[in-house]
Every structure is written in structure tokens, then in C-alpha cells.
Amino acid sequence: MAGQGDATRPNQSLKENLPENIVNLLTAALIWLFGVLVFLPMARRVDPKGLSILCGIIIFAAFTVFLVRGLTGFGETIRRLSEPLAQEWKKRKKETEDKIETRERINTLLQMATIIIVYLLYFPILRTMHPSINGLTLIITVLTMLFTLIKR
């Protein structure tokens, strides 16, 4: 009986945390939109050197806090999303390949897409601070993607 309770626990925590995660992700999206589309261009216009760096650091910190809070448990969401996608893929392609292997491939693709999207969201913020920071972040992103592929 203890095993049954453990199996439903991730499902319950996912349902309990989902509204809070969505609020945090929407807050991160608003910070990004206002920061990148309003405050950074305004800071560049007022003071091209100093103010845009300070504004970029503030936006970076706020965006990171809410993004990390929102992505808590996102790996579990990706795993749960990959199951129906794998079933649909097998149904459409009529492949004989193992369902678990298909699910793992889709899970890896979703993880890599998430990594790319997060990097692209940070790109305009990091660019205002310094171009080399953006380059280092790109290197870290590529290495993270390689490790994700190797881990599979």
C-alpha cells in the first residue's frame, strides 16, 4: 500500500504547484517584456553606457528569480508531457520502436527546446551588460545541450 501512495505523490505535488509555477512564469514574462522592450531601450537612450548595464543587471536578477521559481518541477512536467506525445508519434508513424525509447527521445527534445528558449530569453538582457557574457552563456548552453544528449 505504501507504494501506491508514493506513486500518486508526484502527481499531487504537480497539481498543487502548477498554479504557483504559472504565476511565477507569467511574472517572469512580464518582467522580460517590460525590461527588454521598455526599460533597456529607455536606459540606452538616457545614458548609453552606465544606466543600461545597471538596468540590465536589475532585470536579469528579477527575471532569474521568477524564472527559477516557475521552472521548479518543470522536468516532471516535461516527462509527463512526453508520454502522450510518444503515443501520438507511434500512432501516426506506425513505428515498431519501443514506446519507452520514443518517450525518452521526445523528453530529450523537449529538454533541449527548453534550454534553447531560456537562452534566447536571456540573450537581449545579457547583450546589454557585455557581449562576452553573452558568448560565455552560449558556450554554457551548448555544453548543457551536449550533456543532455550524452545523458540520454
Q: For 28-84, how does the pLDDT look when each residue is reduced to its tens digit (9 = 90+)?
A: 999 999 999 999 999 988 887 788 889 999 999 999 999 999 888 777 778 888 888
Q: Name the grid cell of 25.
A: 512564469
pLDDT value of position 103: 80
pLDDT value of position 57: 93
pLDDT value of position 9: 47
Distances (CA, A) of 136 to 33, 67, 104: 23, 20, 29
Every domain of the chain and the residues it spans: 1-72, 80-152
pTM above threshold 0.75: yes
The DSSP-derived string for 21-76 is HHHHHHHHHHHHHHIIIIIHHHHHHH-TTHHHHHHHHHHHHHHHHHHHHHTTTHHH
**122 φ, ψ (degrees, to nearest 5):** -80, -20
